[in-house]
Amino acid sequence: EAGVAQSPRYKIIEKRQSVAFWCNPISGHATLYWYQQILGQGPKLLIQFQNNGVVDDSQLPKDRFSAERLKGVDSTLKIQPAKLEDSAVYLCASSANSGTPGHYGYTFGSGTRLTVV
């Protein structure tokens, strides 16, 4: 079974530029998550999708971050404009449903490491 695919692996941009990350979840997984992992911290949920609808975006900085999952499969996370404090690893995860995560094959991708200079 293929895992959660993310691209790019690394990205370096200057502050105030824009950047986009892509995620393709495991086939058939209805729920998709984006996390931000700042160096030295645990991952923090940014947004959760169930199919193509948003379930939870309470911790997404909506003034600069946006995400979409138009066809209920792959997803894009965008930052515009980027700030220095956005430097982090952005992890995508997917699960078969949105129940208790650990019970339903919750799987993380390898992440995109963003450096804002």
Q: Which residues bind other proteins (CB under 8 A)?
A: 4, 33, 40-45, 48, 56, 91, 93, 98-103, 106, 108-111
Catalogue the E-assigned strands of the chain: 5-7, 10-13, 19-24, 31-37, 44-50, 53-56, 65-68, 75-79, 88-95, 107-108, 112-116
Dihedral angle sign, alpha carbons of residues 46, 34, 9, 62 = negative
Which residue, 19 or 109, is less far from other proteins as judged by CB? 109
Which residue, 76 or 107, is less far from other proteins as judged by CB? 107
CB of 40 to other proteins, least distance (A): 7
Which residue, 56 or 68, is less far from other proteins as judged by CB? 56
CB of 50 to other proteins, least distance (A): 12
